[in-house]
Amino acid sequence: MAALDPPPCFMGGYAEDALLAGTVTRPHDDIDWVLPRRELAVRVAQAERLGFTSFETWGEASPGEPFYLSARNGDLRLELGIADETDGALLLKVHKLFFDVGAAAAPAGYQVYLPGDMFDFPSVELDGVAIHAASPLALYQMRVGIAQQGSFGPLSQRQLDSMSKLKEKFFPERSEVELVPRIERLT
């Protein structure tokens, strides 16, 4: 995946492993890419060439517009998170989710503002392979923003530990309150 042209932007566990340790630290259930909506067709075509041929929409940014897609190739799952660009701002719009959290529909109806440097962080190495990872601030703020809404349930201890390590390594002088992204209800 790192050799694709243009290379995808990784988020989630593999991006955190690359940024924090430079090596894979644990088994991962999936691979996560984050992309601006304008790259969606390119990224889906790349994924299809890698054998991920049947994408399911797990979340919409607006009716009929996906923000969260998932596909499998054997035991490997690829998830795509799609960011919208509005008036120069990057947004993760969560209009509707197609799964439950506990026994209730996953909370939706909001947008999380993402940092402008999300796609601009320099390449990092993961076990000797250069990958393009989302910026540390973007990784932190995506997790905090979605967690505050409860859309994927409570954060695990592993996720909390990763967030703590990102903060300690990349922005130790900033308070947790300062790192919370702007979140608005969708209208």
Residues 6 or more apart in contact with residue 137 via CB below 8 angstroms: 115, 117, 118, 170, 171, 179
CATH of the structural domain 9-185, one choice from 3.40.630.30, 2.40.50.840, 3.30.70.20, 3.30.460.40: 3.30.460.40
Per residue in 15-63, pLDDT tens?
Answer: 999 999 999 999 998 999 999 999 999 999 999 999 999 999 999 999 9
Per residue in 87-124, pLDDT tens?
Answer: 999 999 999 999 999 899 999 999 999 999 999 999 99
Extents of the domains making up the chain: 9-185
pTM recorded for the entire structure: 0.94
Closest CA to 133 of 5, 39, 4, 7: 7
What is the model's pLDDT at position 187? 80
